[in-house]
Amino acid sequence: MILLNPGPVNVSDRVRNALMGPDICHRESECAELIGTIRRKLLEAFVPGAESDYTAILLTGSGTAAVEASIMSCLPPGKRLVHVNNGVYGERISSIIATQRLGIAEIKCKWDTPPDPEMILKSLKQQPSAHGVVMVHHETTLGLLNPVHEIAEHVDSRGGVFIVDSVSGLGGEPLDIAGRHMYMVAGTAGKCIQGFPGVSFVLVRKGFMENVVKYPKRSWYLNLGNYYTAQENGTIPFTPAVQLYAAFDEALSELLEEGVANRIERYGRMAALIRERLASLGVRAVLPPEQQSNSLTAFYLPEGLILQHGSGRAYAVLHDRLKERGYVIYAGQGHLESEIFRVANMGALQDTHVDGFLGAFEEVLQHECRVT
């Protein structure tokens, strides 16, 4: 089955076979070596040339675990966060913040609108207790890229902490973490890095991490200070998903061999092919080209499909007919659920997979859009 959803993704045989390695105990030196290797590869991939300025902290859990751990761990007493919300995952951040009342201002934008960096700077200036800003890099609700580089500069100019949810961005979109002084960046194995879900991580500036270990612990399992202290000493505080770590290590090796820039280019090329072919079939993208990511595109459901099956059934028909042919697409979310569908091109996909999907899509469209 070819997965055209934004995670879990198709993985290579090489990554899949890494699951079949020998069983190891998480308290033995073999596991410590594996964790150390993964942390080193993460820094090499995402902060090249600045490895000594950052640390990588591994977690067992989905990307949301890394995001929540960052938020729960980043604040000294009396400080709060400004949070930016322009999609489903921005709303998730708002919900995480609300559980501990850690926010002072929510900047809420339309789902198809990137936030204005100047508006965020203004909010920071107006909030004396603001310690920093948290937001999503690639908002997969619509495949929207947020202007994180520009916002990072504003936050840094105020001496603030910038926390980025790049769960679906790292490995698929350019992100200058070190150059823009991003303090915390959350990522995961099971999207553009092309590993399995269940392992996540946070890249943190070392100087800031030394402060984090002194902050109040708002969680035990999701406190980054606990992980950092243990991993710096060659151990881990809780039982990790060891086999998934082995597969993640292999996925990182593949990423480094391909080159992050080359993977970004490959994703961009595949996305362009999907968009061009669907446009030729009269299927409209939701976002303008300059706002689209390299790894996911949101499209309006074809009018003929809606006319034939009704707005409530159109997506289900499209999804089911494509799945019968071996391809899985993704539904819209929230108020757009009955209007759009999404096609991701993350994962170990080849041109033949994309060509096969496009042929299947055209076939389904021709068959299911005939109005009698």
Structure confidence by residue, pLDDT tens digits, 246-274: 999 999 999 999 999 999 999 999 999 99
Where do runs of H (alpha helix) occur along the chain?
13-17, 29-46, 63-73, 88-100, 117-126, 148-157, 206-212, 224-232, 242-258, 260-280, 303-309, 314-324, 351-368
Domain with CATH 3.90.1150.10 in the chain: 260-368
CB 205 within 8 A of CB 211: no
User: Which tokens go with 151?
Assistant: 């916002």
Partners of 56 in beta bridges: 203
Please give the share of the chain, as a percent, with pLDDT higher than 70. Answer: 99
Structure confidence by residue, pLDDT tens digits, 31-73: 999 999 999 999 999 999 999 999 999 999 999 999 999 999 9
User: Which tokens go with 72?
Assistant: 């729960």
Partners of 292 in beta bridges: 144
Class of 13-258 in CATH: alpha beta
**Region 200-224: what's the mean pLDDT?**
95
Structure confidence by residue, pLDDT tens digits, 90-147: 999 999 999 989 888 899 999 999 999 999 999 888 888 899 999 999 999 999 999 9
Asked if the model's pLDDT at residue 371 lies above 60, the reply is no
Domain with CATH 3.40.640.10 in the chain: 13-258
- Domain 260-368 is found in CATH 3.90.1150.10: yes
Pick from 135, 152, 158, 136: which is nearest to 205 by CA? 152
Looking at residue 313, its pLDDT comes to: 85
> pTM of this prediction?
0.96
**Region 218-241: what's the mean pLDDT?**
94
Looking at residue 305, its pLDDT comes to: 82
